[in-house]
């Protein structure tokens, strides 16, 4: 029941290759020169920035940087406040345990 069952061995004959002497191979033909054809023109519209759109793009990028920066700073501030409060709780608990042990 727990003995492994192996599939039957492959009964196909092994593939054999017949080596061909290098002198019997034909010489490679020289490639034909490619004709010089100009590249087709692109059908995509070209984006042209006017001074107003460049200014709007810069203002939008600056706003994104400011928003992402504010989010990251607020997350860092939240982690710092949490760390300080946990440390303060540890000091208060340590003081309470020391006072409890001293008054016995």
Domain encompassing residue 97: 75-104
91 is a domain residue: yes
Residues of the chain with pLDDT under 50: none
CA distances to 5, 13, 59 from 2, rounded to whole Å, are 9, 32, 72
Instruction: Give the end-to-end CA distance of the chain in Å, rounded to a whole number.
Output: 69
pLDDT value at residue 25: 64
pTM, entire model: 0.45
57 Cβ neighbours under 8 A, 6+ residues apart: 49
96 is a domain residue: yes
What domain count does the chain have?
1
pLDDT value at residue 19: 67
pLDDT value at residue 38: 74
54 is a domain residue: no
């Amino acid at each position: 029941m727990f003995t492994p069952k192996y599939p039957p061995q492959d009964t196909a004959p092994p593939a054999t290759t017949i080596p061909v002497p290098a002198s019997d191979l034909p010489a490679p033909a020289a490639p034909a020169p490619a004709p010089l054809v100009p590249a087709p023109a692109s059908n995509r519209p070209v984006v042209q920035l006017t001074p107003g759109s460049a200014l709007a793009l810069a203002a939008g990028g600056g706003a994104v940087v400011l928003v992402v920066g504010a989010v990251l700073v607020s997350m860092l501030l939240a982690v710092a406040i949490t760390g300080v409060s946990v440390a303060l709780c540890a000091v208060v608990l340590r003081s309470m345990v020391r006072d409890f042990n001293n008054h016995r």
